[in-house]
């Protein structure tokens, strides 16, 4: 059995949907209009939802509200970029919330004890270290991703609570506040940062050998190894990237609140995974695109914002969000079954 790993110089040779193969070839191979719906259906759903909410709620269509939606979801979008890479590699990370909270607390401390530059570096180092440990335990140690990252989240959170006594740490966030809350024109700086990171993720995943390796490992780890792919190094790098994205999310969180809160970001892991699932990222690895992840981030944000503006009970809102996720999973499963027939 042979397996050809595509090079970064020839992405059109990649045996995966998400690489550089031409859109026309993909449509022909995967079923024409059905594949077109699979690829662009989430963007269509987002557009229809925005249109319906604009009609139902005049407050929704105001520039200030739309700007708020972009600003509030940029942070989770950045975390979801890292989760996408880890899920494509065949894993996921339940410790991204702990990394974000710890990074924000450490950064908050250093803003008053060393300056903003040191604070940013310290936060990013935490993301790298935790991501590296997760990657080594999963890729080299062969430990289940769920157990590894769940345990890591508990360890990191426990250490953070002991050191801080679970008390918030005041910060002098400075430029981070501008990044989190500032605007260029009417476009939030945080959303611009999200677009930059999403674009970087797209480039890494579709235009580099490492990105092709990540897809290959998620698709068939054993075949990738037999083909000479550096499986361990590539998957470890995926988790390091995920840790970095979580740390960057922590920096934006600090900029928004100007406080390092140890108990924050607890919903990040499941929300980021939900975003990726809605975007069609395979839970078994090997498939997923940055473009759909961006759409899924905005879709969940618009749903939450719309429910609030329509005065839907806070008890009902989680059920609606859960329904959206279930519909997305069912649609993805139906699509995969169709492609296998």
pLDDT value at residue 337: 62
pLDDT value at residue 22: 39
Query: In this predicted structure, which of 23-32, 127-136, 226-235, 255-264 has the lowest mean pLDDT?
Result: 23-32
Mean pLDDT of 300-326: 85
Helix (H), strand (E) at residue 16? none
Read off the pLDDT of residues 38-91 as tens digits, 9 standing for 90 and up. Answer: 677 788 889 999 999 999 888 998 999 999 999 999 999 999 999 999 999 999
| Structure tokens that stand for 249 in this block | 């999310």
Helix (H), strand (E) at residue 192? helix 189-206
What are the counts of helices (DSSP H) followed by strands (DSSP E) for the chain? Answer: 14, 4
Q: Could you tell me if 212 and 5 are in contact, meaning their C-beta atoms sit under 8 angstroms apart?
A: yes
pLDDT tier at 196, thresholds 50, 70, 90? very high
pLDDT value at residue 340: 55
Structural domain boundaries in the chain: 11-340
Among residues 179, 121, 132, 156, the alpha carbon closest in space to that of 263 is found at 156
pLDDT value at residue 316: 84
Task: Give the three-state DSSP class for 136.
Answer: helix
Model pTM?
0.86
Q: Could you tell me if 13 and 22 are in contact, meaning their C-beta atoms sit under 8 angstroms apart?
A: no
Higher pLDDT residue, 262 or 1? Answer: 262
pLDDT tier at 28, thresholds 50, 70, 90? very low
Q: Could you tell me if 99 and 247 are in contact, meaning their C-beta atoms sit under 8 angstroms apart?
A: yes
- Measured between alpha carbons, how far apart are the two ends of the chain, in Å? 23
Q: Please check the confidence at residue 205 and state whether its pLDDT lies above 80.
A: yes
> What is the rounded average pLDDT for all residues in the chain?
87
pLDDT value at residue 149: 97
pLDDT value at residue 335: 65
CATH, domain range 11-340? 1.10.3470
Q: Could you tell me if 157 and 98 are in contact, meaning their C-beta atoms sit under 8 angstroms apart?
A: yes
Q: Which residues pair with 187 in a beta bridge?
A: 184
């Amino acid at each position: 059995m042979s397996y050809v790993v595509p090079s970064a110089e020839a992405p059109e040779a990649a045996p995966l949907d998400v690489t550089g193969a031409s859109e026309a070839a993909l449509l022909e191979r995967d079923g024409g209009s059905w594949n077109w719906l699979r690829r662009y259906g989430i963007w269509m759903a987002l557009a229809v939802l925005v249109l319906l909410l604009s009609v139902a709620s005049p407050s929704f269509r105001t520039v200030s509200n739309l700007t708020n939606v972009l600003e509030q979801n940029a942070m989770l979008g950045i975390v979801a970029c890292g989760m996408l890479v880890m899920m494509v590699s065949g894993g996921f990370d339940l410790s991204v919330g702990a990394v974000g909270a710890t990074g924000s607390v450490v950064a908050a401390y250093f803003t008053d004890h060393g300056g903003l530059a040191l604070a940013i570096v310290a936060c990013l180092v935490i993301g790298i270290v935790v991501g590296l440990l997760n990657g080594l335990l999963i890729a080299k140690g062969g430990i289940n991703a769920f157990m590894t990252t769940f345990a890591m989240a508990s360890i990191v959170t426990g250490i953070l609570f002991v050191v801080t006594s679970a008390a918030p740490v005041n910060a002098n966030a400075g430029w981070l506040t501008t990044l989190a809350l500032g605007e260029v024109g009417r476009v939030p700086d945080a959303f611009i940062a999200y677009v930059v990171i999403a674009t970087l993720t797209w480039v890494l995943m579709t235009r580099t050998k490492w990105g092709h390796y990540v897809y290959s490992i998620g698709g068939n780890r054993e075949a990738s190894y037999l083909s000479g792919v550096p499986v361990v190094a590539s998957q470890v790098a995926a988790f390091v990237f995920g840790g970095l994205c979580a740390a960057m999310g922590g920096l934006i969180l600090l900029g928004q609140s100007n406080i390092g809160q140890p108990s924050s970001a607890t919903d990040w892991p499941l929300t980021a995974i939900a975003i990726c699932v809605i975007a069609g990222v395979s839970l078994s690895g090997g498939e997923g695109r940055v473009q759909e992840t961006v759409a899924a981030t905005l879709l969940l944000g618009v749903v939450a914002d719309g429910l609030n503006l329509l005065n839907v009970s806070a008890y009902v809102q989680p059920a609606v969000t859960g329904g959206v996720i279930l519909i997305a999973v069912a649609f993805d499963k139906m699509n995969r079954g169709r492609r296998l027939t």
